[in-house]
Amino acid sequence: MSDPQTRHTSTPDTSHLEKINLTEAIQLIRHAGYPDPSSDTAANSLKVLQGVIDTLCTLSMHDGLTGLSNLRYFQIALKRETHRAARDGTPCVLLMLDIDHFKTINDRHGHPAGDQILKTVAKRLKQGLRPGDTLSRYGGEEFAIILPNCPLKNAICVAERLRRGIAAEKFPIDTRQALSVSVSIGAAQTKAETPPDPGTLLKSADENLYKAKALGRNQCYYEKPVATEVSSDEKSALFRKDPAKKSKADKTFNKKTKQA
């Protein structure tokens, strides 16, 4: 019987890999600006194939224009984070953002100008988030941000900071002209559901985005959670002693004092 270590360290037969046509895949990788896995002359066929597969996986999960993760990755991340929030009992907030009047920008200044706006907005959004947050291009001029382990009130602060930062900036579209841009934001937080439902969270955030648009744009809309804390007046009412009972107790105490 052969030694187990010998079996694990044996060189795999890669001769059949020479017949695989990777020409179109490698052309796609080059066009996307990624390193060509076949350019490494020291790499064998198996290593080249693995490099092509890894790069194509990366391309399939990212948006070609902005470099952000795309809708496919967002759907995977949303499911993962909503289940984690339910498992750990931590809050998770989804922000849906839309660039206001983006069609007007494309119509007046052309699609290259619109593309430049998208890339710059994506860059600004990414700069304002934590490493563990997920920022994706949802589609068109819409972005999605997943904020794990983040209470709603903190998420609203993040959303407002991003919104104000974009509204205050001038976005260059060529060497002579810069535009002002604003975004509308809808926010929603996970609820204590079993099992967790990423679809419901997405629907709530998307509906709140449309409400932000309907209310005038350039704002963040969210459903305020129902207050569960007891107010100071309610506490006073709950713990205030009954005057009648207090008077009766005082009389009993005074009577016993006199008898003594």
Reported as a single tens digit per residue, the pLDDT across 105-163 is 999 999 999 999 999 999 999 999 999 999 999 999 999 999 999 999 999 999 999 99
Check residue 48 and give its pLDDT: 87
- Residue 49 structure tokens: 């194939």
Q: Quick one: 36 and 87 in the same domain?
A: no
pLDDT number for residue 40:
83
Indicate whether 233 belongs to any domain: no
Q: Could you tell me whether strands 220-222 and 183-189 are parallel, antiparallel, or unpaired per DSSP bridges?
A: parallel
Residue 192 confidence (pLDDT): 76
- Residues 48-104 pLDDT 10s: 889 999 989 989 999 999 999 999 999 999 999 999 999 999 999 999 999 999 999
The whole domain housing 33 covers 15-60
- At residue 185 the predicted structure's pLDDT band, cuts being 50, 70 and 90, is very high
What average pLDDT score do residues 222-234 get? 70
Using an 8 Å Cβ cutoff, are 125 and 143 in contact?
yes
Residue 117 to residue 210: CA distance in whole angstroms: 21
Q: Tell me what percent of the residues of the chain surpass a pLDDT of 90.
A: 64
> pTM for the full model?
0.78
Task: Tell me the sheet residues that pair with 13.
Answer: none
Cα–Cα distance for residue pair 232/25, rounded to 1 Å? 67
Q: Quick one: DSSP state of residue 70?
A: -
- Reported as half-sphere exposure (CB side, CA atoms, 13 A), residue 194 has a value of 3
Same domain (yes/no): 141, 33:
no
The tally of domains found in the chain comes to: 2
| 178-180 and 183-189 strand pairing | unpaired
- Rounded to the nearest 5 percent, the helix, strand and coil shares of the chain are 55, 15, 30
Residues 45 and 141 in one domain: no
Closest CA to 102 of 138, 144, 136, 141: 141
Same domain, 98 and 148: yes
Residues 51 and 76 in one domain: no
Same-domain status, 214 and 112: yes
Verify that 130 and 192 share a domain, yes or no: yes
Which position among 24, 81, 141, 142 bears the catalytic label? 141
Annotated catalytic, 141? yes
Q: Would you list the DSSP string of 4-63?
A: HHHHHHSPP--GGGGG---HHHHHHHHHTT---GGG-TT--HHHHHHHHHHHHHHHHTB-
Per-residue pLDDT at 85: 95
Backbone angles phi, psi at 48, to 5 degrees: -65, -45
Min mean pLDDT across 127-136, 226-235, 245-254 is at 245-254
Same domain assignment for residues 55 and 85: no
Q: What's the DSSP call for residue 169?
A: -
User: Is 60 exceeded by the pLDDT of residue 4?
Assistant: no
Q: What is the mean pLDDT of the chain?
A: 87
Beta strands at 92-99 and 142-148: parallel, antiparallel or unpaired: antiparallel
- Among the residue ranges 133-142, 160-169, 225-234, 245-254, the one predicted with the least confidence is 245-254
Q: Is the distance from CB of 145 to CB of 95 less than 8 angstroms? A: yes
Do both 173 and 84 map to the same domain? yes
pLDDT in the model for residue 215: 97
The answer, yes or no, to whether residue 234 has pLDDT greater than 90, is no
pLDDT reported for residue 66: 97
pLDDT band per the 50, 70, 90 thresholds, residue 43: confident
With beta carbons less than 8 A apart as the criterion, state whether 181 and 218 touch: no
**Residue 91 shares a structural domain with residue 177:** yes
Same domain assignment for residues 43 and 142: no
Asked whether residue 238 is assigned to any structural domain, the reply reads no
Cross-strand partners of 179: 171
C-beta neighbour count of 255 within 10 angstroms: 10
